[in-house]
Structure 1
Amino acid sequence: MKQTGLLRRCAALALSAALLAGMTGTALAADRVFQDVAADSPYAAAVETLAQKGVVQGTGGATFAPDTALNAAQLAAFLARIAGAAVNQSVVNTGIADDGWSGAYLSWAVDNGIITLSDTVGQYTSLDAGQVNGILSAFAAYLGIEAPTVTAAGAAVTRGEAVQALAQLAGQSFHHAAGTGYQTVTSAQDWGPAISKVILSLGTDVDPASVTADKFQVLSDRIYDETSHVAARTVTSAYVSDAQGNQAESGSYVTLELKIGPDETAGSPFNYEFATSGHNVYVITLYYISLTQPLTAADGLPLSMDRTSRIGDGGTVTPLADQFQLDSYTAEDGITLKYAWWTPEETAADGSTPLIIWLHGAGEGGENPYVALIGNKVVNLITDGIQQYFGAAGAQVLVPQTPTIWLDKDGTNTYMGPEDTGRSYYTDALMGLIETYVAAHPEVDADRIYIGGCSNGGYMTVNMLMEFPGYFAAAYPVCEAYDVAWITDAKIDAIKDTPIWITAAKTDGTVPLFQGETDPANFSVYHLTLDENGDPIPLDNYSNALYDRLVAAGAADVHYSLFDKVEDTTGLYFQADGVTPYEYMGHWSWLYTLNNQCVDTIGGREVTLFDWLSQQSK
């Protein structure tokens, strides 16, 4: 019994020694972990090194299979582990077999431009020396390190022949941003929202001099209608930044500024559901960002990154819109309206603050007030350019949202026609929301409540004026759709003393003010019909009819900004000739309103719409 116990103790000591040898890097560890790797084989040390780093994990049963041909799936796994990549086993590209281990590794290698699958290079294809060296060269370039080479005794490179080159790769110094996180920045523009920036989180301080726009490749993937719409985005600028995207002298974040414009649909976070809801809706938006060559870390080492994926998506920030608070109101009849609101000061004195109400167009209805805020550039209402007119306290902004359209006759998203009354299904619910909001915010000056909006919202502005005459201090309807059939002398008489500023454009083909026809090849273009003198022929409807009847009724403070067409005024966007300003749909005259570019001469001086609005009080 003693002898047996002694033998057991000796065996335990021998096992401990073997484990210790494995921890300290002797060939004994390789013998123990992979029984088919001889201690005196030319690749034993490389296998040991890679095993310790977790790069090679064997083929099962404590074997490495050094004489087995290396395939693309195995090589992809080795390289991903050398890089320290964040490989998610749930992400396997189409066309790659999801075998439970190699599919995700190979997808990573393909996504990052390291392996290109072809007729001769498949997931389980044995690789020859030329193929392996091409892949190693691409991987080294990806990391910014030196590329080793392999030779093969036979037609295919064996696992044993490859490990020495892999060990050389693993022995070099570099930084790698694994599972790169990113956040997009959505800005409100004249034509709608645009994803204008992407902020990358690299986890390592970056040398600012190494960050240039040409080193980044950006693809947007907009997913809607169960279809993925992938398109390239152009990087116009790149720089080291803070986490909010502000340029910085040092840091681990990099911000990419992207080309945006009225025709850059790949940058839009919206899709317009023309055939169904008639609303703009957010789509699933993903960004696949990769480096065309490594950056340099602050310590001088090369810095690479995993191509971004769904896993790293940190969502979007929307400057200005994020300053609004969101809420909902349910009327006594059960109608619920979502809304956004903003106040310049949390502790303003009672009765000190005017209230600006904006009513959105048809495309911005639904259940997400952000769509109403950035579908048109409504966020401009809280900027200094407009707030400056409303004194030290500024003006609050209220943006209600209808679940369908303001022109809804019965709550079923059905437009009213000339034969209807012109009273919106949402009339009482909207008034209830406004009154409830004002009651909950005693700082609002009830004598300075202003209402306006565009298109459907322009209609609703006129509707609210006529349904609740005397409640609003002033109104500013834009391209309004209140049909002349609904206008009566009594309604005009009830609102003629309310200051009103109307805005529209002659080329509006949605609520036409002049004779013409929509271009059959492009519904956004409206061709005016001209008389014998070459002048457009006015129609007696909508803004024209409202203005003419108010003037005829003796309205003393009514203004009409009627633009010939709607053009870009930023100087950034042009037609094909590169000289003529970009022309928008004629219906989009709200651009002039929200940019405060409507001007009239009042009392001998030029006054902008919001300067005028700020002076109105009951």
Structure 2
Amino acid sequence: MRTPITRRTLLVTGAAVGASAVLGAPAAGAATAPAAARGDGHRAALVTPVAEVLDGGEQVTALVIASGALGRVERSSLTSSTFAVHVVATNPLTGDVAYEQDRVVTAARWTGPGEVTLDLEHGWGVDGGSTLQYMGAFGRNVLLDLDHTVTQAEPLRGPGARGVVVLDSFRQGDLSDPEVDAFTYHATTSGLNYRLFSPERRHRGGRRGAALVVWLHGGGEGGLLTGGYDYYDNEAQLRANRGALGFATREAQDLFGGAYVLAPQATSAWMQDGDGFAPQILEAIEEVAAAHRIDASRVHVVGCSNGGYMSLKMVAEHPDRFATSTPICCGIGPRDGSGGYFISDAELAAMTTPTWLVASADDTTLDPEDNTVHAHERIAGSIMSLYDGVVWDANTYPGHWSWIYVARNDPRHAGRSVWEWMARTRR
């Protein structure tokens, strides 16, 4: 996702504010301006958008600007108003603009030699930062093409009494999200996409191997291979929420003593073909286990919404495979079996895999009474965390988003958190 940005800026020596050119065109007089008028440091700069997966999904939270010319700048001359940022986000499937607006720069920091980081306003309810667009007609999240335009609005002081440094063009680099980028890209022999986090070498489980956490995403994070589209990106299952990322955090890795985290991506939605997807997920598990030292007694399955159904489906299909199952805001299908997905009461009653169900009572997408509570009442010994609503860090989220609690290790039972329970349970 590399979008070139060209913007030339003319700042007259000693001026407080420069005149910015239109995107792609040189500023008036820039081609003929004498060196003295141009200041000491006209240079190109690389702009790297830095994203973070927040509880409400991934947003671009900062831009890193790197240029050799910045190494000559007096650091005190950098302020939050030195650079302005504008973004255009385009849906790559439709070509439509998802949003276009200025981003609020909340701070500007020196983060290395010749490197400045612009912190951008972000958070729940803040527009203009999302890296995904939800296509409601198809129920899918699509990774947007982001075009950030950076303008130098104020001069930076360079060497000498009257020197200024001006960055005259900006080139956008690839989107960076350190947590997401820690997961490597793979596909099974049969073609199912998956991402994999590998623990540090000191945390790979000793003689028996490391644990494996299998994260099964919700319906919005699968591929889109209908309606004339051919979209299967291996991205959204990590960027839409913190479900998989939570298990890759230092806190989780310390609790597990190291764990691989496997995040497969459905070609559509798990609920559309549970019978067909179950062997493909198992294939991914077996391929990871063949390539890495996995403790077969510590394979855990966790999923939200569509993935909550699929976590139950995997246990029903493979009752002796998993150490634990954690279905979040799950669907189990209509009791008469008329739906496209279905976990029968007999299958639920036969489950012996330790199970912890999580949901919110105000979930309007998958009714918790018909699904989560119903499953809890039929799975012997199961644990259930039923919240009144989904509230985290003073933000109120839709009731279906109870995966936020598991991603933050919030559910507790008998003095243990859900991650602790998983980490201490073996098959």
Give the equivalent residue in structure 2 for 1:388: 254
1:546 to 372, 375, 380: 375
Cα 1:489–1:226 change in 2 (3 A) is closer
Tell me how far apart the structure 2 counterparts of residues 365 and 484 of structure 1 sit (CA, whole Å): 23
Q: CA deviation at 1:298?
A: 5.6
AA at the equivalent of 1:439:
A
Percent identity over the alignment?
A: 28
Determine if contact 2:13/2:39 at 8 Å carries over to the other structure.
Answer: no
Tell me how far apart the structure 2 counterparts of residues 297 and 567 of structure 1 sit (CA, whole Å): 48
2:46 to 181, 189, 192: 181
Give the equivalent residue in structure 2 for 1:339: 194
Cα 1:146–1:370 change in 2 (3 A) is closer
Q: CA deviation at 1:484?
A: 4.9
Determine if contact 2:300/2:322 at 8 Å carries over to the other structure.
Answer: yes
2:181 to 312, 316, 322: 322
Determine if contact 1:219/1:288 at 8 Å carries over to the other structure.
Answer: yes
Give the equivalent residue in structure 1 for 2:228: none
Task: Tell me which protein shows more helix as a share of its residues.
Answer: 1
Tell me how far apart the structure 2 counterparts of residues 354 and 428 of structure 1 sit (CA, whole Å): 21
Q: CA deviation at 1:490?
A: 3.0
Determine if contact 1:143/1:303 at 8 Å carries over to the other structure.
Answer: no
Determine if contact 1:177/1:202 at 8 Å carries over to the other structure.
Answer: no
Determine if contact 1:294/1:302 at 8 Å carries over to the other structure.
Answer: yes
1:67-216 mapped onto 2 (5 Å cutoff): 112=9, 139-140=11-12, 169-172=34-37, 174-204=39-69, 205=71, 206-216=73-83
Tell me how far apart the structure 1 counterparts of residues 38 and 283 of structure 2 sit (CA, whole Å): 66
Q: CA deviation at 1:357?
A: 0.7
SS in 2 for 1:275: coil
2:158 to 294, 297, 317: 297
2:133 to 271, 288, 296: 271
Give the equivalent residue in structure 1 for 2:392: 568
Determine if contact 1:350/1:444 at 8 Å carries over to the other structure.
Answer: no
Determine if contact 2:135/2:141 at 8 Å carries over to the other structure.
Answer: yes
Cα 1:478–1:299 change in 2 (3 A) is farther
1:357 has 2:214 as partner: yes
Tell me how far apart the structure 2 counterparts of residues 257 and 490 of structure 1 sit (CA, whole Å): 53
Q: CA deviation at 1:257?
A: 0.6
Determine if contact 1:141/1:293 at 8 Å carries over to the other structure.
Answer: no
Tell me how far apart the structure 1 counterparts of residues 347 and 332 of structure 2 sit (CA, whole Å): 12
Task: Tell me which protein shows more strand as a share of its residues.
Answer: 2
Could you list the per-position Cα deviations for residues 104-124 of structure 1 after superposition, in whole angstroms to 9, with x for gaps in the alignment? xxx957xx5x7xxxxxxxxxx
1:206-245 mapped onto 2 (5 Å cutoff): 206-224=73-91, 225-228=94-97, 229-242=99-112
Tell me how far apart the structure 1 counterparts of residues 47 and 396 of structure 2 sit (CA, whole Å): 34
Specify every segment of 5 or more residues in structure 1 that has no aligned partner in the other structure, as ranges: 1-89, 92-106, 115-138, 148-161, 243-250, 410-422, 514-538, 570-580
1:589 has 2:418 as partner: no
Give the equivalent residue in structure 2 for 1:501: 356
SS in 2 for 1:369: coil
Determine if contact 2:88/2:101 at 8 Å carries over to the other structure.
Answer: yes
Q: CA deviation at 1:140?
A: 2.1
Q: CA deviation at 1:322?
A: 1.2
Determine if contact 1:273/1:280 at 8 Å carries over to the other structure.
Answer: yes
1:434 has 2:302 as partner: no
Q: CA deviation at 1:314?
A: 1.0
Tell me how far apart the structure 2 counterparts of residues 471 and 298 of structure 1 sit (CA, whole Å): 66
1:446 to 296, 307, 318: 296
AA at the equivalent of 2:175:
T
SS in 1 for 2:174: strand
AA at the equivalent of 2:344:
T
Matched residue count: 391
Give the equivalent residue in structure 2 for 1:607: 416
AA at the equivalent of 2:234:
P
Determine if contact 2:17/2:155 at 8 Å carries over to the other structure.
Answer: no
SS in 2 for 1:339: strand
Tell me how far apart the structure 2 counterparts of residues 329 and 193 of structure 1 sit (CA, whole Å): 26
Specify which structure has the bigger relative contact order, considering alpha-carbon pairs within 8 angstroms and separated by 6 or more residues. Answer: 2
Determine if contact 1:210/1:296 at 8 Å carries over to the other structure.
Answer: yes
Determine if contact 2:247/2:253 at 8 Å carries over to the other structure.
Answer: yes
Q: CA deviation at 1:272?
A: 1.2
Determine if contact 1:145/1:172 at 8 Å carries over to the other structure.
Answer: no
Could you list the per-position Cα deviations for residues 585-618 of structure 1 after superposition, in whole angstroms to 9, with x for gaps in the alignment? 1000000000101112x2xxx2110011111111
AA at the equivalent of 2:149:
Y
Determine if contact 1:213/1:237 at 8 Å carries over to the other structure.
Answer: yes
AA at the equivalent of 2:246:
N
Rg larger for: 1
1:488 has 2:312 as partner: no
Specify every segment of 5 or more residues in structure 2 that has no aligned partner in the other structure, as ranges: 20-27, 224-231, 336-341
2:172 to 287, 292, 313: 313
Determine if contact 1:142/1:293 at 8 Å carries over to the other structure.
Answer: no
AA at the equivalent of 1:238:
A
TM-score by length of 1: 0.60
TM-score by length of 2: 0.85
SS in 2 for 1:238: strand
Q: Which region of structure 1 is more displaced relative to structure 2, 588-597 or 322-331?
A: 322-331
RMSD: 2.6
Determine if contact 2:13/2:36 at 8 Å carries over to the other structure.
Answer: no
Determine if contact 1:455/1:481 at 8 Å carries over to the other structure.
Answer: yes
AA at the equivalent of 1:560:
M
Q: CA deviation at 1:475?
A: 0.7
Tell me how far apart the structure 2 counterparts of residues 542 and 298 of structure 1 sit (CA, whole Å): 68
Could you list the per-position Cα deviations for residues 298-336 of structure 1 after superposition, in whole angstroms to 9, with x for gaps in the alignment? 66621122353xxx11111111211111110133xxxx2
SS in 2 for 1:327: strand
Cα 1:592–1:487 change in 2 (3 A) is same
Tell me how far apart the structure 2 counterparts of residues 404 and 146 of structure 1 sit (CA, whole Å): 50
Tell me how far apart the structure 2 counterparts of residues 314 and 488 of structure 1 sit (CA, whole Å): 50
Determine if contact 2:312/2:343 at 8 Å carries over to the other structure.
Answer: no
Could you list the per-position Cα deviations for residues 377-431 of structure 1 after superposition, in whole angstroms to 9, with x for gaps in the alignment? 121211112112113xx1111111111110113xxxxxxxxxxxxx432111111
Tell me how far apart the structure 1 counterparts of residues 358 and 14 of structure 2 sit (CA, whole Å): 55
Cα 1:146–1:184 change in 2 (3 A) is closer
Cα 1:146–1:362 change in 2 (3 A) is closer
